[in-house]
Amino acid sequence: MISATLIASAQWLFLGYFVGLTLLYLSLNLISLVVTLRDRRQRIPGELSSIYSGLEPPISLLVPAYNEETTIVASIKSMLQLNYPQMEVIIINDGSRDGTLDVLKREFRLIPFPEIHRMQLPTKAVRGIYRSPVHKNLRVIDKENGGKADSINAGINSVRHPLFCVVDADSILQRDSLRQLVAPFMDDPSVVAAGGAVRIANGCEVSGGFLKSVGLPRNPLALFQVIEYLRAFLFGRMGWAPLNAIMIISGAFGIFRRDLVVEAGGYRTDSVGEDMELVVRLHRLRRAARQPCRVVFLTEPVCWTEAPEDLRTLQNQRMRWQRGLMESLWLNRSLLFSRHGGAVGWIAFPAMLFFEGIGPLIEVAGYLFMVFAAVGGLISWQACAIFLMLALWLGLLLSASGLLLEQLHFNAYPKTSQLLGLILGLLGENLGYRQLNSWWRLRGLWHWMRGARGNWGKMRRKGSWQRT
């Protein structure tokens, strides 16, 4: 018979997890709010993109692509029209099995380019390099399939500039995004990486590579992800930034110093979380060598990306993300509580490990324990209901705080109908979707524990929001 002490201890453990998670993210939200109010007082709109006008360092855009024939043309057109004085766009076709390369050849009139391909970072074999006679700053690398990290490394081998920016092939950048995101590198030589906000493009309208209007997706799964992304980027990133404890720069939109990335060995091809792993590794290596290392996040530069709209694709994505998270933490575990780890090693790392790493295990176990304990008569149904309602309320509080911050800082969805849609999405996200997501993440944790290998993952692109 299970003792009353054991049952009570389990209840307090699960309750403590939900309360601790909420307090952590509410604290990050408070920091984000303070930063938002401070920036609003200190900066006028558009100032960030004009301070260094004409002085920006040259930059290389790397676009890894695998089976992206539906969305890649509009995305590349968007990048070619960015408001930036000197840049090159390098598309890396990672052995796509669809018509990605054919679409690129036809749309941009690609011709073979006899360029010597440097091999500072080992990659799968490069089959050919092409350039566009119409867009002199556009090149395409066609290579054997090796995964996203391998593709980015191939792009790094070919870049001609000191900074590179990785952008997903299904993404749209706002015109001033690069100028805004490059500013920290000009302000502070200790900056090694910078990331911008990523938002959901489903429901928006893009024409000719430009974002024409912002809208909400009609698909419920995509709508729930809008809430998730607001929470993750607005206070999940923004809150850690003042502590210099950012552990991830989104693989969809981030700028890095090429020399430091090459020195660190490039992107790891044996991790499905290559974006996070690289950032954590840069923290670990540079802090161990007592070298300055600052990773920044800016809210103004925005990248719009397509979110999955079917359960299978979303499930695979979240399982892959969870495996990537655990791989990143495990491979760089020496950073945890290290002597020179700073806030990232002493605060962010343990928080990420407990609340995001093993958090799905605790959360799913908490739900199951309370329900089965009530069914078995070990606890009252009233106690079970109180626990579940409290967990729901804490989740709603986090989502609502992210939505509030969005309305104060951006107000990207100004219409009353859009606000109502977000509120409905907030409720739906916490009533079923969050629990389902925890189950997917738990499966990802299990896959990591048994050493499962990942890959690009199959993302079903609709591209209905894009008009070329």
307-322 pLDDT per residue, tens = 999 999 999 999 999 9
The dihedral over CA atoms of 248, 253, 258, 261, expressed in degrees to the nearest 10, equals 30
How far apart, in Å, are the Cα atoms of 186 and each of 94, 348, 354? Answer: 33, 26, 35
pLDDT at 51 over 70: no
Residue 52 lies in a domain: yes
- Is residue 273 within 8 A of residue 321, CB to CB? The reply is yes
pLDDT per position as a tens digit, 102-113: 999 999 999 998
- The total domain count for the chain is 1
Q: Which helix (H) or strand (E) holds 2?
A: none
Domain range enclosing 121: 23-350+460-467
> What's the angle, vertex CA 101, arms to CA 95 and CA 107, rounded to 5?
165
On the 0-12 / 13-18 / 19+ scale of CB atoms within 10 A, 453 is exposed
Over residues 164-175, mean pLDDT: 88
By C-alpha distance, which of 196, 240, 231 is closest to 405?
Answer: 231
Query: In which band, very low, low, confident or very high, does the pLDDT at 341 lie, cut at 50, 70 and 90?
Result: very high
Residue 46 lies in a domain: yes
Over residues 27-54, mean pLDDT: 65
Residue 400 lies in a domain: no
Query: In which band, very low, low, confident or very high, does the pLDDT at 2 lie, cut at 50, 70 and 90?
Result: low
- Is residue 257 within 8 A of residue 192, CB to CB? The reply is yes
- Mean pLDDT score of the chain: 87
Over residues 158-171, mean pLDDT: 92
Look at the block and give the residue holding tokens 């040259």. Answer: 58
pLDDT per position as a tens digit, 209-255: 678 888 999 999 999 999 988 888 777 788 899 999 999 998 889 99
In sequence order, the 6+-apart residues with CB closer than 8 A to the CB of 341 are 283, 287, 335, 349
Residue 439 lies in a domain: no
Residue 148 lies in a domain: yes
Six token digits for residue 55: 């002085």
CATH number of the domain where residue 259 is located: 3.90.550.10
Phi/psi at 388 (5° precision): -65, -40
Q: Residue type for 452, please? A: A
- Is residue 60 within 8 A of residue 87, CB to CB? The reply is yes
Residue 414 lies in a domain: no
In sequence order, the 6+-apart residues with CB closer than 8 A to the CB of 50 are none
Residue 12 lies in a domain: no
Residue 403 lies in a domain: no
What whole-number distance in Å separates Cα of residue 125 and Cα of residue 318? 30
pLDDT per position as a tens digit, 389-418: 888 888 888 888 888 878 777 778 888 899
